[in-house]
Amino acid sequence: MALLERWRPETHTFHLPIGECTVTLEDVYMLLGLRIDGKAVNGKVNQDNNICNELLGDPLLDDETEGDTSSQARGQAWGWSRMPSLAPENERPFVFPFATKWSVRGMNYNRCPKHAIVVYRNLLDHIGHDDFVWRPYLGLDHDVNHDDVAVWTAKTPTIRFTTVEMHQSDRVKLQFGMLQHIPESPTCLGNWHQKRVDAQWDYSDWRDFAKDMCRQWRNRRQHILMEPVIQGVRPTQQYMAWFRSVTTQQFVSEPRYLMDSRQLASSSTSAGPSNQPSLDQVSNQRPQTPQENRGRPRRQPNAPGCGTGGRYNRAGH
């Protein structure tokens, strides 16, 4: 839940202190083992749900996994793979599909207690550049499907029956090992972004469904990122300065506000009042005690969709 609070529908990304990130097509393939390249999934379904098990195999993360629903478990698998310092201790090795690492019982939650949302909010508030793994699948043993790899970086709508979500890959280039520039304004999907998956039961005219979005998906290979991959790439100071200027301060505070007050006092005494700590100096520092609940309001179900609301609307990005 603490991670979901940081989802911004305007940009189709999570907003963390280290920049934007999201669940990419690569994550879907690597964590769940699902094929990416192919036709959009929509149309009338008259088959029993059991056909999904026949086609996809047994669920990787079922409803009994550590007491969470399968959708929550999938989100946790993504977060734990990207932010291992927040993950429970688990001796199970990574085996494809890699979400199976988190499908076992008996994991040690001592460093990340379950259902402690205030603790997780605090940890996410203070996450640093060294705490987030931009490319978690490097070095893991698996022969990838090259047809899928070719479209992992495509900036394209993704379609599941009546739900449409934008794969805003240009805003998360660091997840593909590319230098992140200041991105263009996010793509707005209009009313399609407000649809629910259960709306498919009342939809009949599938031939005309989201024609423009389906066309973009068919042409996805024309919208892949073509920039060079750089080993060990990190967010630039220019990008971070821009990001902090446009994101909501409700979720991303200036680093000096998250430091232990004793550290600030010590810094001021030794270096003088005008010598303020830089981003690089404080990005990885954590408080010595958990922060109290900040009373962060949750986004309402009927909140504006992509392209509206938030500071992005006013800043133009």
Q: At which residue do the structure tokens 């892949």 appear?
A: 224
Residue type, 153: T
**pLDDT, position 180:** 97
The answer to whether position 112 is within a domain reads yes
Q: What is the 3-state secondary structure (H, E, C) of 202-240?
A: HCCCHHHCCHHHHHHHHCHHHHCCCCCCCCCCCCCHHHH
* Distance separating alpha carbons of residues 257 and 5, to the nearest angstrom: 20
- pLDDT band at residue 290 under the 50/70/90 scheme: very low
**pLDDT, position 109:** 86
Q: Is the pLDDT of residue 287 over 90?
A: no
Q: Is 272 left (phi over 0), alpha (psi -120 to 50) or beta?
A: left
Q: Is the pLDDT of residue 251 over 70?
A: no
- pLDDT band at residue 58 under the 50/70/90 scheme: low
The answer to whether position 305 is within a domain reads no
The answer to whether position 127 is within a domain reads yes
**pLDDT, position 239:** 96
The answer to whether position 316 is within a domain reads no
Q: What is the 3-state secondary structure (H, E, C) of 61-85?
A: CCCCHHHCCHHHHHHHHHHHHHCHH
- pLDDT band at residue 283 under the 50/70/90 scheme: very low
Model confidence, pTM: 0.76
Q: Is the pLDDT of residue 230 over 70?
A: yes
Question: Which segments of the chain does DSSP mark as H helices, in order?
Answer: 25-32, 50-56, 70-82, 117-125, 146-149, 211-218, 237-246, 261-271, 279-282, 310-315
The answer to whether position 93 is within a domain reads yes
* Distance separating alpha carbons of residues 181 and 171, to the nearest angstrom: 8
Cα Rg, the chain, nearest whole Å: 21
Which one, of 7, 287, 29, 307, lies nearest residue 151 by Cα?
Answer: 29
The answer to whether position 68 is within a domain reads yes
End-to-end Cα, the chain, rounded Å:
26
Structural domain for 264, as ranges: 1-42+54-300
- Asked whether 19 and 235 are in contact (CB, 8 A), the reply is yes
Report which listed range, 133-137, 155-159, 302-306, is most confident. Answer: 133-137
Q: How many domains does the chain have?
A: 1
Contacts of residue 166, defined as CB under 8 A and 6 or more positions apart, other chains included, come to 12, 155, 156, 157, 158, 186, 187, 189, 193, 306
The answer to whether position 236 is within a domain reads yes
| Averaged pLDDT of the chain | 76
* Distance separating alpha carbons of residues 78 and 94, to the nearest angstrom: 13
The answer to whether position 185 is within a domain reads yes
Residue type, 36: I
Q: How many CB atoms lie within 10 A of CB 126?
A: 20
